[in-house]
Amino acid sequence: MSATAKTTVAVSDVLAARIQNRSARVGVIGLGYVGCPLAVEFAKAGFTVTGIDVQPHKVNVINAGESHIQDVSGEEVRQLVSSQKLWATTDFSALSELDTISICVPTPLRKTKDPDMSYVVSACEQIARYIHPGMLIILESTTYPGTTKELLLPMLEEQGLRVGVDFFLCFSPERVDPGNSNYQTSNIPKVLGGVTPECTRMGALFYSQGLKQIVPVSSTEVAEMVKLLENTFRMINIGLANEIAVMCDRMGINVWEVIDAAATKPFGFMPFYPGPGLGGHCIPIDPFYLSWKTKQSGVEARFIELAGYINGHMPHFVVDKIQNALNDVRKPLRSSRVHILGVAYKRDIDDVRESPALDIIHLLHRGGSHVTYSDPFIPTLSLDGGQHIESQNPLTACSEADCVVIVTDHSSFDYSAILKASPLVVDTRNALKQFKSDKIVRL
């Protein structure tokens, strides 16, 4: 057996043994909605986990035994920190002591709709400084197909280490659904693809220690594409539902009744529902990674671009509905008091990333309206220009408004009392489905 073969066996076997006996030192870069739950799951599985984040606030909260993520129990964090299974730092030199590293940093879009990879590049630069034989590196940040091999791999090989031999590199897309109590990090099937078969084997071995189901695929490109297909599927179908909603509005048809009736078909149909626009970090953004990448290959992603346009126009459609509703009661949009119910991007969570409520508020302000809001999960809302507004008591604010707009249908809202208190309600979520009233204007 050659010296190279002996080295290969030794590195992979040592890492595999450390993973299986829980002595591997686990690292997670980025302690947000993806990284923090992942760190907690592996700490619960018996590993010693180091979380790394550039934001001191997140680090301090975790080290104090508290949670800054709604879906992560503060009591679990407290127990894991007190048992020294979990700690956090802003110091990237901690990477030198780690065996596995999961990269869970943001990948936003620039205003030009091309991917901003600066957070991934920055994290990879730090890993490259401290990379050592036997290290397993897994990128979880959603990105375009080819990122792992084209962007990360060359940076990590600069020190002369060989992928699949001296270190192991994989991509595994995050599938977090904030606020979903049925499916969380531990029981969502984990797709994973490595740069080499040995990388895939090591990545699957590692994730199987803390997660219930691993789905290995043949390459990092396949794994990268899986995530984009999932979210592009949702984006396009929601875009179709939104376009149908606009059509039904013009024809005086109740789109919600149409969808509910269509959903009784036991085959060939899956219901998607319209709304005020897309929100969150994934669905409004991820498909444009694919659109950008395909343009590099000379292919135009027509469905993605069209669905993006339709979904992006929905806040304008909602404001038009508000203006028309006010006109019908002889009030102008300008100077009217409009109260927004719910500003989080989806029901029962505390996340406003890409929330359509922000666009609706901006458009209402531009139209001269006086805007207030209520959201039990968002006590303070930061608007463009540095303005901050506070959440109001919903019933009091509804009674004082000229028009109330249901943008996010939180389950804690008392819709019966809200309808009674409000002079006029524009319902973008069908939250008032069970009520019949001349005061209700439905999407």
CA dihedral 247, 250, 256, 262 (to 10 degrees): -50
Residues whose CB falls within 8 Å of the CB of residue 438, separated by 6 or more in sequence, listed in order: none
Distance between alpha carbon 169 and the CA centroid of its chain, in Å? 23
Query: Which residue bears the tokens 């990092």?
Result: 220
Query: Which residue bears the tokens 């969150």?
Result: 280
- CA angle, corner 286, sides to 285 and 289, nearest 5? 105
Report CA Rg, the chain.
24
Q: Would you tell me the crossing angle of helices 197-207 and 3-20 to the nearest 10 degrees?
A: 20
- Beta-sheet strands, E only, within 310-362: 337-341
* Residue 244 main-chain phi, psi, to 5 deg: -65, -40
* DSSP letter assigned to residue 97: G
The helix or strand, by DSSP H or E, that contains position 28, with its residue range, turns out to be: strand 25-29
Alpha helices per DSSP H over 131-254: 147, 153-156, 197-207, 220-251
| Residue pair 194/201 in contact by the 8 Å Cβ criterion | yes
* Residue 427 main-chain phi, psi, to 5 deg: -105, 110
* C-alpha closest to that of 107 among 71, 155, 70, 140: 140
Q: Which residues are catalytic, by number?
A: 282
| Residue pair 180/206 in contact by the 8 Å Cβ criterion | no
The HSE-up count of residue 216 (CA atoms within 13 Å, CB side) is: 16
| Residue pair 437/404 in contact by the 8 Å Cβ criterion | no
* C-alpha closest to that of 51 among 170, 69, 243: 69
